[in-house]
Chain A
């Protein structure tokens, strides 16, 4: 496909949706009359016109797949024969699955916690310093780049050369200059997971930072002033006023990053491809989607395990939504 063809399809694709809304509404407008009956009819058709595209997409890409994935998890690798709990039993006994779920749990424990913590600390520091906004910009920047791009950046930091060569990776260069042996960081089991998590923390701290910065402004200045006049130290203010005041925000950010981390795939796929015991559920799932021609049963089980992780958050969101509706 040439670039010109590509441009043409892109243009056509976007135009299609604009044309759909414009033409259907134009027709409705010209039909719409003065009688109440006609007006009501026109309005109910228009609701359908407005909702239909989004609803169809939502149905095909989210609603149907959720049920289909649940169904497929009880079927064989081609999705043809019912096999009951076979795929689930396989998962429970599979060492790779256990390793992945353990890694996922550690990711879920470490990354949201540290990102939120760093975000809060940095937001608080930057708030009181004149060059704080520049600092915030810099720390927020990794949020804009892709996980794969971040992977390349950090792979370069972790780069390993034999002990006789000049180290071009920053981490090993530091280690060598301190007099230690260089290490192939990404191949050391258990620890390599933390080196991968560092990348995610590096990225997500920015997210926590900007949200906290916005939230910090909602703390009444008088309260902080009063505390300072009473002689409270900054550390004391941080723990006794700021953290309790931002409790809700902390929870929101923590959940947000948890959702992102739960389906973490790109970083591990790009850096180690799950080798040296770094695999997580999403990687294992991708693997099973294509390994040996693909196994939709096992892949679906893995997707469901990821889904189970978000169900508490989903329920909580729905509960909050209900409360808001009542008001």
Chain B
């Protein structure tokens, strides 16, 4: 027998409220990135989901396009240049009465010229006397716009705005910045766990202290080192290898710490048995440790990769802000400054930058959570 209690309904509603509040911002961004950029600028994204009424002002063509027909001077044309699927409901010729006429009505201007309009925006403007003005008259339309989505913004952002290249750059930063610490820290963590040497405990304490050191502490000295290094060898101070090593440095403590915690949980007997059989530490590492550590590696890979992919500060400080080096987050920040009103570019760019994290999130959520729970501590 199931009893539906009041408290259970209340908690469902409360959770639903949280879910809605949490999903709406991202959902709005996603919808916006798929909208026509003109509509995006004049209406909220939530209107894109239903057929909506929009009010617009159009200007008809001027005297150049007039023709003489059936004793009238006529100007024919269409208001909607793009095929957006809008249907006109009503229109007006005066800004004070924008809904004065229905489709099929003949609207008469003060100069006795008349205009008829069909619902697709085709108009015929006719007059007994010749048109004299270069600019046509204005029409105020009220039309219904069905939901319509387009990938046009993505095409523009990826190829024209340089987001595509920034995407490649970010990959070139994040992948080595994840693999290098994983490689060197797995050996480091192995020796901290299974090898005996002088100063091991001190080293471990240093790692634990380094976990929480904010990376701001390192920025100025490392920038100085890079500048000196660049000047000494005549190479660029800001480069991809420089960023990899910086990320490696900042991720080293947490990667080592997580790996060591994992290695410590492996049975000691296994290592001893392998040693008795004459295996060297490297053999043990390759044949036993690596196969056993795949899940731990996966979790750490995801954490570090997302951290590097989403980082702004390191990419800003240690890379030049030029098209061949700029990373996605820095590019987005730049667009926020320079194209702050072009929401089609910003929303689409942001969504492009989120594709990889979201893919990882949905595909590998289990490993991601496991890594976080194991102790995501990062300085």
- Which residues of A line the B interface, CB within 8 A? 1, 3, 6-7, 9-10, 13-14, 17-18, 21, 25-26, 28-29, 32, 42-44, 46-47, 50-51, 53-55, 57-58, 60-66, 68-69, 72, 79, 118, 122, 125-126, 128-129, 132, 135, 137-149, 151-157, 159, 166-170, 173, 202, 205, 207, 210-211, 214, 233-234, 256, 259-260, 262-263, 265-266, 269-270, 282, 285-286, 289, 296, 299-300, 302-304, 306-307, 309-310, 313-314, 317-318, 321, 325
CA gap between A197 and B184 in the complex, in Å:
37
Whether a CB of chain A sits under 8 angstroms from the CB of B101 is no
Shortest beta-carbon distance from A294 to chain B in Å: 8
- Nearest to A17 among chain B residues (CB) is B183
Contacts of B11 in A (CB 8 A): 125, 128-129, 234
Q: List 10 A-B contacts (CB under 8 A).
A: A1-B325, A28-B280, A58-B253, A65-B220, A143-B372, A149-B354, A152-B350, A153-B29, A155-B336, A286-B316
Q: Which of B340-371 contact A (CB under 8 A)?
A: 343, 346-347, 349-350, 353-354, 357-358, 360-361, 365, 368-369
Query: Would you give the shortest CB distance from A256 to chain B, in whole angstroms?
Result: 7
With an 8 A cutoff between CB atoms, is B14 at the interface?
yes
Q: Are B252 and A141 in contact (CB under 8 A)?
A: no
User: Which residue of A69, A118, A145, A309 is within 8 Å of B310 (Cβ)?
Assistant: A145
Does the CB pair A211–B32 fall under 8 Å?
Answer: no
Q: Which residues of B contact A1 (CB under 8 A)?
A: 324-325
Q: Does B210 contact A (CB under 8 A)?
A: yes
Residues of B within 8 A of A68 (CB): 220-221, 224
Do A32 and B280 have beta carbons less than 8 Å apart? Answer: yes
Beta-carbon nearest neighbor of A21 in chain B: B187
B200 to chain A, nearest CB (A): 9
CB distance from B360 to the nearest CB of A (A): 7
Query: A14 to chain B: which residues have CB within 8 Å?
Result: 175-176, 179-180, 183
How far apart sit A17 and B179, CA to CA, in the bound complex (Å)? 9
- Assess the B32–A156 pair: CB atoms within 8 A: yes
- Report whether A156 and B332 are in contact in the complex, using a CB–CB cutoff of 8 Å: no
Nearest B residue to A130, CB-CB: B12
> Do A13 and B15 have beta carbons less than 8 Å apart?
no
Contact B216 A138 (CB under 8 A): no
Whether A125 contacts B7 by the Cβ 8 Å rule is: no
Q: Are A141 and B361 in contact (CB under 8 A)?
A: yes
Interface-forming stretch among B19-27, B80-88, B123-131?
B19-27
Partner of B184, one of A17, A44, A211, A313: A17
> Is B147 interfacial (CB-CB < 8 Å)?
no
A-B contact count (CB 8 A): 341
A residues less than 8 Å from B282 (CB atoms): 21, 25-26, 28-29, 46
A10 & B175 in contact (Cβ 8 Å cutoff): yes
CB distance B214 to A263 under 8 Å? yes
Q: B36-44, B89-97, B112-120: which one contacts chain A?
A: B36-44
Closest 7 pairs between A and B when the two form their complex, measured CB to CB: A61-B249, A146-B310, A54-B188, A25-B282, A152-B350, A68-B221, A65-B218
List the A side residues contacting B224 at CB < 8 Å.
Answer: 68, 79, 296
Instruction: Tell me the bound Cα distance from A309 to B214 in angstroms.
Output: 10
Which residues of chain A are near B26, meaning CB under 8 Å? 141-142, 145, 153
* Residues of chain B lying within 8 A (CB to CB) of residue A128: 8, 11
Residue from B46, B207, B373 having most chain A Cβ neighbours under 10 A: B373
Known: A61-B248, A144-B357. A170 touches B349 (CB 8 A): no
The reply to whether B23 and A259 contact each other, CB–CB distance below 8 Å, is no
Q: Name the residue on A nearest B322 (C-beta).
A: A1
Q: Does B292 belong to the interface (CB within 8 Å)?
A: no
Is the Cβ of B218 less than 8 Å from the Cβ of A125?
A: no
Given contacts A144-B357, A146-B310, A256-B377, contact A18 B205 (CB under 8 A): no
Judging by beta carbons under 8 Å apart, are B172 and A6 in contact? yes
**A9 x B212 contact (CB < 8 A):** no
Residue of B with least CB distance to A122? B18
Which residues does chain A contribute within 8 Å of B42, judged by CB atoms?
Answer: 166, 168
Chain B, interface size: which category?
A: 35 or more
B217 at the interface (CB under 8 A from A): yes
B201 interface residue, CB < 8 Å from A? Answer: yes
Contacts of A144 in B (CB 8 A): 306, 354, 357-358, 360-361, 368
Chain A binder among B60-68, B69-77, B190-198? B190-198
Say yes or no: is B281 at the interface (Cβ < 8 Å to chain A): yes
Chain A minimum-CB-distance residue to B23: A138
Is B250 part of the contact surface with A, judged by Cβ < 8 Å?
yes
Chain B proximity of A196: nearest CB distance (Å) = 14
Contact of B329 among A122, A135, A149 (CB under 8 A): A149
Q: Are B221 and A138 within 8 A (Cβ)? A: no
Q: Residue B140 at the A interface, CB < 8 A?
A: no
Asked whether, in the complex, the Cβ of B313 is within 8 Å of the Cβ of A6, the reply is: no
Q: A125-B15, A318-B208 are in contact. Are A60 and B312 (CB under 8 A)?
A: no
Q: How far is the CA of A149 from the CA of B327 in the complex (A)?
A: 13
State whether B7 touches A234 (Cβ < 8 A): yes
Q: Of the listed stretches B102-110, B150-158, B238-246, B266-274, name the one at the interface; the rest are far from the partner chain.
A: B238-246
Given contacts A51-B191, A148-B333, contact A61 B220 (CB under 8 A): no
Minimum distance in angstroms from B49 CB to a CB of chain A: 13
Shortest Cβ distance from B134 into chain A, in angstroms?
Answer: 29
- By a CB distance below 8 angstroms, the chain B residues around A151 are 332, 336
CB neighbours of B283 from chain A (8 A)? 29
- Chain A nearest Cβ from B212, distance in angstroms: 5
Residues of B within 8 A of A300 (CB): 220
In the bound complex, what is the Cα–Cα distance between A21 and B281 (angstroms)? 12
Q: Which listed residue (B8, B212, B225, B343) contacts A310, Cβ 8 A?
A: B212
Q: Once bound together, how far apart are the Cα atoms of A14 and B347, in whole Å?
A: 34
Known: A7-B172, A17-B180. 11 other contacts (CB 8 A): A13-B244, A17-B184, A21-B187, A63-B210, A65-B217, A143-B361, A144-B358, A146-B310, A148-B332, A170-B46, A211-B372
B219 within 8 A of A: yes
